[in-house]
Amino acid sequence: MATMLYQGHGSYRFLLDDGTVVYVDPFAGEGYDLPADLILCTHEHFDHTAVDKMPHAEGCTIVRARDVQPTPGDYVESFESHGVMITAFEAYNANHPKDECVGFVLDFDDIRFYASGDTSMTNDMESGLLAGLGIDYAVFPCDGFYNMDVAEASRCADLVKARHSIPIHMVPMNNPEDPSQLFDKETAESFQGPGRIIVEPGNTIVLS
């Protein structure tokens, strides 16, 4: 079964059934030892774009927000890379312009995963578009400074209706070497959403 390693802050890594390695918003924490087949960056802020932090496998593909939203509001059609189907969705708030940021819905190994990126509540959430996709796992930022706070993140989780909801990006990141900026237990435990899973940095969950 595919697994997700939460590295901390907004960074996590998937290991697929066939050994494919996918990094999302690499920057924080540990676990950059496996060569990347696919790297996804939801936007270009420094704490989401450490694409050289890990070794790259031959043929490694990097997908950035501008690759899936080449012009404002114009998202490319779903496409496959390294066995992962990638679909772009809205991500935005006062600190993250809509035309520079995206969320991703990723399909792999019979799992549908919503990588929200840095965002607050979006029209794709409120309209029911995401809820209609039958998402298995979804992550939501909730630092309350650069993104929505934990209360709004909980409301977004209710709108998305994933089978499992995971809080991430709980502390504004200034120093990746400071472990206290990777995770905040009080914030994580305040988050509420369908099938809530709290994953601490360095921990791995099986996606089923």
First to last CA, the chain: 7
What tens digit of pLDDT does each residue of 27-64 get? 999 999 999 999 999 999 999 999 999 999 999 999 99
- Mean residue pLDDT across the chain: 96
Reported as half-sphere exposure (CB side, CA atoms, 13 A), residue 60 has a value of 18
Spatial separation of the C-alpha atoms in residues 118 and 120, rounded to whole Å: 7
**Shortest CA distance to 138 belongs to which of 44, 12, 47?**
12
Spatial separation of the C-alpha atoms in residues 40 and 139, rounded to whole Å: 15
* CB-based burial label for 185 (10 Å; 0-12, 13-18, 19+): exposed
pLDDT at 137: 99
Task: Please tell me which residue, 48 or 172, carries the higher pLDDT value.
Answer: 48
Domains of the chain: 3-206 (3.60.15.10)
Asked whether residue 139 carries a pLDDT value surpassing 80, the answer given is yes
177 contact partners, CB below 8 Å, separation of at least 6: none
